[in-house]
Amino acid sequence: MATDASEQQISPPTLADVKEAAALCDQIIKTPLLENPEINSLLAGRLLIKAEIAQRTGAFKFRGAYNRIRQMDAAQKKRGVIAYSSGNHAQAVALAAQMCGTSALIVMPDDAPLSKIARTRELGGEIITYDRTTQVREEVAERIQAEGNYVMVPPNEDRRVMAGAGTVALEMFAQAESFDAVLVPCGGGGLTAATAIVMQALSPKTRVYAVEPELFDDTRRSLEAGERLSNPKGQSTICDAIMTDTPGALTFPINQELLAGVLTVNDDEVRCAMAFAFEHYKIVVEPGAAVGLAAVLSQKIDITNKTIGVVTTGGNVDAADFCAAINARAE
């Protein structure tokens, strides 16, 4: 199927695009920036947590999905949308489609958390599953798109999706203005790139870092190699939301130019961070969303006498998995 030119927005968003998304997307919740003075004293620095767990559908992904789908014309809405996601983008697209009067077909891995699958269906999304160990999600979605003439709403590779994601950083700057560094969980790299674009424009001294699971560090290795590299097959992590195969074609050059670096954490460090966030900030953070906090707590970055912002990107975690993380911290 030949894609309509109006659907192809594969250039990086500007600060103006992000500001427009913030102004026009009246359904987006402005989430809090959390601070605990006792923890600041313990860390000898200022830790500010952007709580995207409070966003609609429980994750930042609603920002980009809604900004994209709200701009569809009547003919596009009649066709319906298709997206691929392990859960957070899936839920966001399903809700945004429902709100904007169109349908949503979601390609999800068959090992996605049951709570994310169930919630996507509750929001009106139709689900097709695939095996992430043997299939590539983009290829599965593109084949179905061509067969059904759907409008693709990718999690990262679209200017409007990234502009919506960039409103996270725009809010952070308005809430605090001064950051020495901002740490962002990194899967495909869209939120990381959008954050870097906003901070480069508004606060050039702020260093933006991507944070990845140790076994899914494709962005780190790609930046070192100077080209996009894939993760080896057969590896796993509890950070399902950021288990992507390869950095995005749109996002990678932006991150290559603007990021200060990439930090990595292991699953045990993530579990500790989830428990820490629950104990000291009273929030439920899913594994993939806790990697930035894990990097601070495991001293992958020095917070002493600095102000560091951490984006906790979502809170969609199965109750049993969350309890296991809490219990692991207590042992």
Give tens-digit pLDDT for 190-239: 999 999 999 999 999 999 999 999 999 999 999 999 999 999 988 999 99
C-alpha radius of gyration, the chain, whole number: 18
- Provide the pLDDT for residue 329: 63
If you classify domain 15-58+158-330 with CATH, what class do you get?
A: alpha beta
State how far the Cα of 104 lies from the Cα of 93, in Å rounded to an integer: 7
Phi, psi values for residue 227, rounded to 5° = -155, 160
Percent over 70 (pLDDT), the chain: 97
- The average confidence (pLDDT) of the chain is 94
| CATH architecture for segment(s) 62-152 | 3-Layer(aba) Sandwich (3.40)
Give the pairing of strands 261-265 and 151-152. unpaired
**Which residue has better confidence, 115 or 92?**
92
All structural domains of the chain with their residue ranges? 15-58+158-330, 62-152
> Is the predicted pLDDT of residue 317 greater than 70, yes or no?
yes
pLDDT band at 2 (very low <50, low <70, confident <90, very high): very low
Phi, psi values for residue 262, rounded to 5° = -130, 135
Tokens of 41: 């004293």
State how far the Cα of 148 lies from the Cα of 66, in Å rounded to an integer: 22
> Is the predicted pLDDT of residue 133 greater than 90, yes or no?
no
Angle between helices 88-100 and 61-69 (to 10 degrees): 30
Amino acid at 261: G
Angle between helices 15-24 and 159-176 (to 10 degrees): 80
**Which residue has better confidence, 222 or 115?**
222
- Provide the pLDDT for residue 10: 77
State how far the Cα of 245 lies from the Cα of 89, in Å rounded to an integer: 16
Q: What is the 3-state secondary structure (H, E, C) of the chain?
A: CCCCHHHCCCCCCCHHHHHHHHHHCCCCCCCCEECCHHHHHHHCCEEEEEEHHHCHHHECHHHHHHHHHCCCCHHHHHHCEEEECCCHHHHHHHHHHHHHCCCEEEEEECCCCHHHHHHHHHCCCEEEEECCCCCCHHHHHHHHHHHHCCEECCCCCCHHHHHHHHHHHHHHHHHHCCCCEEEEECCCCHHHHHHHHHHHHHCCCCEEEEEEEHHHCHHHHHHHHCCCCCCCCCCCCCCHHHCCCCCCCCHHHHHHHHCCEEEEECHHHHHHHHHHHHHHHCCCCCHHHHHHHHHHHCCCCCCCCCEEEEEECECCCCHHHHHHHHHHHHC
The residues facing 181 across adjacent strands are 207, 308
HSE-up of residue 42 (Cα within 13 Å, Cβ side): 11
Tokens of 208: 């933006």
> Is the predicted pLDDT of residue 1 greater than 80, yes or no?
no
State how far the Cα of 301 lies from the Cα of 294, in Å rounded to an integer: 10
Amino acid at 249: A
- Provide the pLDDT for residue 5: 45
Give tens-digit pLDDT for 254-308: 999 999 999 999 999 999 999 999 999 999 999 999 999 999 999 999 999 999 9
